[in-house]
Amino acid sequence: MMSEAKLEALLTESRAFPPSAEFAAQANAQPSIYDEADADPEAWWRKQAGRLTWDTAPTKTLEWDLPFAKWFSDGRLNASVNCVDRHVAAGRGDKVAYHWVADKEGESRTITYRQLLGMVCQATNALVELGVKEGDRVAIYMPMIPEAVVAMLAVARLGAVHSVVFAGFSAEALSSRILDSDCQYVITADGAYRRGTASPLKPAVDEALQSCPNVKAVLVVQRTGGDVNWIEGRDYWWHDVVDRQSEQHVPKSFPSEQTLLIMYTSGTTAKPKGIFHTTGGYLVQAATTHYYVFDVKAETDVCWTAADIGWITGHSYIVYGPLVNGVTQVMYEGLPDSGGRDRWWKIIDEFKVTILYTAPTTIRTLMKWGPELPDSHDLSSLRLLGTVGEPINPEAWMWYRRHVGGERCPIVDTWWQTETGAILASPLPGITATKPGAAMRALPGISLDVVDNEAQSVGNGEGGYLVVTKPWPAMTRGIYGDPERFKQTYWTRFPGLYFAGDGAKRDADGDLWLLGRVDDVMNISGHRLSTTEVEHALVGHPAVAEAAVVGASDETTGQAIVAFVTLKLSAEEATKDQAPLIHELREHVARTISPIARPRQIILTPDLPKTRSGKIMRRLLRDVAENRSLGDVTTLTDPTVVNMISQLMTTTPSGEE
Ligand code: WTA
């Protein structure tokens, strides 16, 4: 958690920016929205369910058997129909769904809703041919190309379940996710482009599948055209099987509580959790929040969520929310500096993007590259900015407001999680004032609280734990295959309340500030990783005896991984020069989990600080990693260990990316 001093600095620095009259006059959300939702949240959500096209309209709203919720359970619908067919049927087929922008400058594709429908139907027919049936799990491991969205919608159209695995994950991470939910199909690509260079993707799938005997078919999009290893009878080119299919497919409808998706996320143990979401409630809240938080006008807005579909932000705000709302989007394949450090600003200007949504870590990177870059481009099309994924520091917020938003765009700082499915806390543009670094308040229909250790609400000016006190439509329905772990993880810390794992504070005005995780989950560039997951990878290396990992604050990535490692005696003796081994360990973690998990710094130490009962004192290690003065060390078996580690910390260089 953030230090008290830093928090105070942040609060005194903070200013409130009231909504402009101009924005307020045309905003989707009007002030009465909070009262209306507060008066009867279920009735309010029932009304929002009217945003969807149902084959059978629901008569039920919420059934709550803590911690298991059902929303709109007697309703029936098809997710892909809601995203695509209904817009075409309503005469909006020529509207652009995606301006897809390639990594390579100058390369783009424009896909209308009618074209998207044809693509989704073809892919659905291909999946049927490959044997995919309702309820089957399909893993998707793809770069940011239109086929990734098409694949998700095709799986959903059949009532099957997609499990999108971020393409930056290793073969090992992919195989454990495939096995955990027993995916029998995989959709992938031969490779991906990053800053003009093709990097292969299929080899990771091939390696992963060596331990996944149940996978029957792999559908492969050709993106880079490199050589690929091919297994006849298992591997199918997308262009061979999808392109020859009919562009028609008659969809069935499924119950509202049909599982739509699984998204793995890091918890406090080494094993990622398969968070699953069902159809009706998830779509209702994704669309409702997209409509109000981003104030979207389907006719005129061009939305750009600069995230990857491999994370929940991509699911809810590149795929489901915006498509249900029928808006035009930009979908970008590359990195912020593919083709130059002003690439983003060129994209905004070229496609006249009106709403930009991204993570604080990206804003800090863009900020490092200097204000001249955004300042020298025409960004006047923008009218609203959003951030997500980690607390945003006031400096980055102010830079975003000034240099990207031209001092006129409201900034919505949106708090939510893979588990919540959609945004739960955010200012509403046009109504709520904004403060640099605050998520401000719960959205209409959502009940949040900040509580102390005894589950009592804290007063204004006080900090505690963020909890959700009432069920919400897009809440996860659980951890795939492990209802007990679901209860344990989220519902036992404060009985009857959903414990998010975040620290929070109410300021003097009662507004909500997020303060970071209070558990062993780290947030690296907006990506969730558990300390145990990284420790597990480290001790998997033959040279390592023990490892303790902490998230230390970092100027660019929010938090960065610092690992304290003790070596096995044999390795210790063999290690004269530490540098090659440290390099090897960093690469080992990157290979085992993902390059995101590569530690910034590894400190080889003869010992770790432990309590008399043998527990590693992570709090102390975090203090060491953040160069803080050390508190009480009297419970340690050997207090000198900490001083020694502090010494080592200052003499071990940080890794370069
Ligand atoms: C953090 C991402 C502060 C938080 C949508 C949460 C935030 C975790 C914010 C979920 C925010 C997300 N301010 N912290 N606006 N948004 N977080 O599952 O710690 O990848 O618990 O979902 O990110 O990360 P996840």
| Helix count and strand count (H, E) for the chain | 24, 30
Helix (H, G, I), strand (E, B) or coil at 160: coil
- Reported as a pLDDT band with limits 50, 70 and 90, residue 584 is very high
Residue 516 lies in a domain: no
Q: Cα angle at 319 between 310 and 106, to 5 degrees?
A: 80
The CATH number for 160's domain is 3.40.50.12780
DSSP 90: I
- Residue 495 near residue 468 (C-beta atoms within 8 A): no
523 pocket-lining for ligand 1 (C-beta < 6 Å): yes
Contacts of 263 by beta carbon, 8 Å cutoff, 6+ apart = 163, 164, 274, 275, 276, 277, 311, 312, 315, 418
Give this prediction's pTM.
Answer: 0.92
Task: Output the pLDDT for position 519.
Answer: 87
Task: Output the pLDDT for position 630.
Answer: 66
| Residue 482 and residue 569 share a domain | no
Query: What does the alpha-carbon distance between residue 142 and residue 165 come to, in Å, rounded to a whole number?
Result: 8
| Residue 208 and residue 154 share a domain | yes
313 pocket-lining for ligand 1 (C-beta < 6 Å): yes
Give the residue whose CA is nearest to atom 5 of ligand 1.
Answer: 417
Query: What does the alpha-carbon distance between residue 61 and residue 256 come to, in Å, rounded to a whole number?
Result: 11
Mutation probe of ligand 1 site: the residue of 390, 393, 420 with most atoms within 8 A of C-beta? 390
Task: Output the pLDDT for position 485.
Answer: 94
418 pocket-lining for ligand 1 (C-beta < 6 Å): yes
Reported as a single tens digit per residue, the pLDDT across 589-627 is 999 999 999 999 999 998 888 877 777 888 889 888 888
- Reported as a pLDDT band with limits 50, 70 and 90, residue 13 is low
Give the residue whose CA is nearest to atom 13 of ligand 1.
Answer: 391
Query: What does the alpha-carbon distance between residue 530 and residue 548 come to, in Å, rounded to a whole number?
Result: 12
Mutation probe of ligand 1 site: the residue of 164, 418, 502 with most atoms within 8 A of C-beta? 502
Is 657 a residue whose pLDDT tops 50?
no
Residue 503 lies in a domain: no
Burial of 440 (0-12, 13-18, 19+ CB in 10 A): buried
Q: What percent of the chain has pLDDT over 90?
A: 83
Closest by CA position to 621, among listed 565, 559, 548, 554: 548
Residue 304 lies in a domain: yes
Contacts of 610 by beta carbon, 8 Å cutoff, 6+ apart = 616, 617, 636, 637, 641
| Residue 436 and residue 357 share a domain | yes
- Reported as a pLDDT band with limits 50, 70 and 90, residue 14 is low
Closest by CA position to 648, among listed 629, 632, 625: 625
Reported as a single tens digit per residue, the pLDDT across 338-348 is 999 999 999 99
Helix (H) or strand (E) holding 411: strand 411-414
- Reported as a pLDDT band with limits 50, 70 and 90, residue 234 is very high
263 pocket-lining for ligand 1 (C-beta < 6 Å): no
Give the residue whose CA is nearest to atom 15 of ligand 1.
Answer: 415
Average pLDDT over residues 282-296: 98
- Residue 111 near residue 149 (C-beta atoms within 8 A): no
Q: Token match 């981003």: residue?
A: 294
Mutation probe of ligand 1 site: the residue of 415, 518, 524, 527 with most atoms within 8 A of C-beta? 415
- Which atom of ligand 1 sits closest to the CA of residue 515? 3
The residue ranges of DSSP E strands in 59-168, in sequence order, are: 62-65, 68-71, 76-77, 96-101, 108-112, 137-141, 161-164
Is 655 a residue whose pLDDT tops 70?
no
| Residue 420 and residue 322 share a domain | yes
501 pocket-lining for ligand 1 (C-beta < 6 Å): yes
306 pocket-lining for ligand 1 (C-beta < 6 Å): no
Tokens found for residue 478: 């659980």
Give the residue whose CA is nearest to atom 25 of ligand 1.
Answer: 417
| Residue 223 and residue 77 share a domain | yes
| Residue 590 and residue 469 share a domain | no
- Name the region of 496 (left: φ>0; alpha: ψ -120 to 50; beta: rest): left
| Residue 278 and residue 190 share a domain | yes
Mean pLDDT, the chain, as a whole number?
93
Is 656 a residue whose pLDDT tops 50?
no
What's the CA-to-centroid distance between 236 and ligand 1, angstroms?
37
| Residue 547 and residue 436 share a domain | no
Average pLDDT over residues 462-483: 97
- Residue 333 near residue 101 (C-beta atoms within 8 A): yes
Give the residue whose CA is nearest to atom 4 of ligand 1.
Answer: 390
Is 105 a residue whose pLDDT tops 50?
yes
Identity of the residue numbered 254: F
- Residue 390 near residue 515 (C-beta atoms within 8 A): no
- Which atom of ligand 1 sits closest to the CA of residue 387? 15
| Residue 594 and residue 544 share a domain | yes
513 pocket-lining for ligand 1 (C-beta < 6 Å): no
265 pocket-lining for ligand 1 (C-beta < 6 Å): yes
| Residue 549 and residue 485 share a domain | no
| Residue 490 and residue 539 share a domain | no
The CATH number for 609's domain is 3.30.300.30
Q: What percent of the chain has pLDDT over 70?
A: 96
| Residue 416 and residue 335 share a domain | yes
Average pLDDT over residues 163-173: 96
Q: Token match 């023990």: residue?
A: 546
What's the CA-to-centroid distance between 566 and ligand 1, angstroms?
32
What's the CA-to-centroid distance between 417 and ligand 1, angstroms?
5
Residue 510 lies in a domain: no
Residue 408 lies in a domain: yes
What's the CA-to-centroid distance between 308 and ligand 1, angstroms?
15
Mutation probe of ligand 1 site: the residue of 7, 416, 493 with most atoms within 8 A of C-beta? 416
Average pLDDT over residues 462-484: 97
Residue 224 lies in a domain: yes
Helix (H) or strand (E) holding 193: strand 191-194
Residue 209 lies in a domain: yes
What's the CA-to-centroid distance between 141 and ligand 1, angstroms?
23
- Residue 218 near residue 236 (C-beta atoms within 8 A): yes
Domain that holds residue 318: 4-498
- Which atom of ligand 1 sits closest to the CA of residue 313? 5
Burial of 380 (0-12, 13-18, 19+ CB in 10 A): exposed
DSSP 655: P
What's the CA-to-centroid distance between 628 and ligand 1, angstroms?
25
Query: What does the alpha-carbon distance between residue 51 and residue 46 come to, in Å, rounded to a whole number?
Result: 10
Between strands 463-468 and 448-451, the pairing is antiparallel
Task: Output the pLDDT for position 611.
Answer: 77
- Reported as a pLDDT band with limits 50, 70 and 90, residue 385 is very high
Residue 517 lies in a domain: no
What's the CA-to-centroid distance between 21 and ligand 1, angstroms?
30
Tokens found for residue 587: 């690469």
- Residue 445 near residue 41 (C-beta atoms within 8 A): yes
Average pLDDT over residues 289-315: 97
Which long-range contacts link 545-550 to residues 24+ away (Cβ below 8 Å)? 545/569, 546/608, 548/608, 548/616, 548/618, 548/621, 549/522, 549/599, 550/522, 550/618, 550/621, 550/622, 550/625
Q: Cα angle at 314 between 310 and 319, to 5 degrees?
A: 115
Sheet with strand 411-414: strands edge to edge: 108-112, 96-101, 328-332, 302-305, 355-358, 384-388, 411-414
Query: What does the alpha-carbon distance between residue 10 and residue 393 come to, in Å, rounded to a whole number?
Result: 8
Query: What does the alpha-carbon distance between residue 100 and residue 119 come to, in Å, rounded to a whole number?
Result: 14
Give the residue whose CA is nearest to atom 8 of ligand 1.
Answer: 417
What's the CA-to-centroid distance between 439 and ligand 1, angstroms?
11
Is 455 a residue whose pLDDT tops 80?
yes
Average pLDDT over residues 104-127: 98
Number of domains present in the structure of the chain: 2
